Amino acid sequence: MPITSATSAKVAATLVAELATTKEQMRESQRLRYRVFARELGAHVQMPLPGHEADRYDHYCHHLLVRDRHSGEVVASTRILTDTQSRLGGGFYSEAEFDFSPVLALPGRIIEIGRTCVAPAYRNGGAISVLWLALARFMVIHRVDYMIGCASIGLRDGGAQAQAITEQLRTSHFTPANLRTRPRDPLPRIVGDRPTDPPSGSLPPLLKAYLRLGARVCGEPCLDRAFNVADLPILLDVDRLDARYRRHFVHNRATTAVSTPIPPPIRTARHAHRATLR
């Protein structure tokens, strides 16, 4: 049974974030991903082990988990691919869907997050908040400048909602033209009248969470045929974090415990000057 908002604070207090340090912990995340993406959403996923959603990028990623301390189960997860690890793995996952060249040319450290998912009973906001705060600690320790990723919109309506959401965000949440990406498999546009605005509250939760942080959309959506979604490319400049979140993200005042120490920051030369979104 889904948890009501009245109990969300109590539930959040039972959650703890941790980085996977063993293969079994990574597989816990892969099993949650399989339940959400394959069983619930009907995606055609890679499954090297029965009941696990996995791909070649997993080996190069940090896997950030949220665990319910009462049940011991992983109830939310995301994976983090650093710029250093992406070079070892042949690039970021998002580069398979978009030409991210303008964004990747920005000076500073870049990480990519992906495969973010939350178990149905924990979608009251508490689990994703715990996940975000742990991600913030990772970004602070590693002195991350930019975060990229994809926000998915379902295509069960043939793409009408995805097109409407894209148009809705175009004027207020897109990056400047010099930081636009190009989809490798563009979502086909619906021919006819301009799509109407999507109903209030219809933004997918992950996309809404990105925008609340201060992230911007980098361009047109890409068609992800395996997952039957339209992916919007996302860019978050850490300097542009929304003031409501800066207390947690920049000053790292999270009250949530991170039970597994985050590895030492990767030592790279810092650029003297940074480009920021205007």
Q: What sign results for the dihedral spanned by CA atoms 85, 90, 96, 102? A: positive
Least Cα distance to 94 among 231, 238, 276 occurs for 231
CA distance 59 to 85: 10
pLDDT, position 246:
63
CA distance 143 to 249: 12
Residue 255 DSSP code: -
- Which CATH number does the domain 5-249 belong to among 3.40.630.30, 2.40.30.10, 2.30.110.10, 3.40.50.2000? 3.40.630.30
Q: Name, in order, each residue with C-beta under 8 angstroms of 276's C-beta and a sequence gap of 6 or more.
A: 237, 239, 240
Q: How are beta strands 222-224 and 182-183 bridged, if at all? A: unpaired
Flag whether pLDDT at 11 surpasses 70. Answer: no
pLDDT, position 129:
87
| 3-class secondary structure, 222 | strand
Flag whether pLDDT at 43 surpasses 60. Answer: yes
Domain ranges of the chain: 5-249
Q: What is the CA radius of gyration of the chain?
A: 18
The model's confidence at residue 198, banded by pLDDT at 50, 70 and 90, is: low
